[in-house]
Amino acid sequence: MHNITNLESPGARGAALPRRDITGVLLLDKPFGLSSNTALQRARYLLAARKAGHTGTLDPHATGLLTLCLGEATKFSGWLLDAPKAYQAQIRLGYRSTTGDGEGEITPVQPFTGSLATIESVLRRFEGVQSQCPPMHSALKVQGRPLYDYARAGLEVARAPRRIEVLEQKVEAWDGEMLTLSLKVSKGTYIRVLAADIGAALGCGGFLCGLRRTETGSFALQGAVTLRQLEALSMEEREKCLLPVDALLSGVPRIDLDDTQSLAIRQGRGLPCDLAGTPGQRFRVYMPTDRFLGICELTAERRLHPARLMTE
């Protein structure tokens, strides 16, 4: 078992941390007030991991599921970056925010006097594929600078609309001012923009005052651990919280190879195959021992070619 008593605290300066190579996927329940990177670095510290990354940021004022990839898992994080994500969002109607959320300057517009049926009717306009303009207060870069830099300088810059999709939405609660929605959306959707647009469509204004991510792809918040829970565990217990790398690829078709085929893939030679599928389709491949080897791609010549492999 590894001991971390000699590790310096996250963010401290001085001697380098005694990091190690450790691989796996950690489902973290990010707390309110921490940036995604700060949460990542604290989890990385607690596991003494040499290499780590996440699969999609959450704003500091948002909480919930942050999927972290350690070691070799970082090679396959891209499969989750494009996955749909689900949220519980709280929208305060009757007000407007300069940032679209509770961090901005809040001004009253007018109370919403309609019914729940009116809200549900308006929400239906926001279902499906649509265009969305990224907010000025975001990390999206224009000419090498994040948009929030321009916003803090009082500048408004042109932003190209992005294609998004609202896959599912449902009213969870409504008390006359606070509207709680459950949402499933495509990659790149800004929920605070959606909240402001819903408020505008209702004619009363609205801003996002609470956001909790509940799903990313096939992963759910119910399987996540908090930083406080992680801190209370021994290193051995922390390691047991890690999921295997191939958990990131549960939606990718699986192929089991024999020893000869496994060796060919590990040596980068590829294999002839008669698999059904289109060129470019990817498969996760395994050795006879059930060891995950990586991802292979089907070529136009009907060969299975290594695309990204685990390190030996």
Between helix 191-202 and helix 116-123 the angle, nearest 10°, is: 130
CA–CA separation, 176 and 94 (whole Å): 10
Question: What is the separation, in whole angstroms, between the first and last Cα of the chain?
Answer: 23
Residue partners of 136: CB distance under 8 A and separation at least 6: 147, 148, 150, 151, 156, 157, 159
* Residues annotated catalytic, as ranges: 59
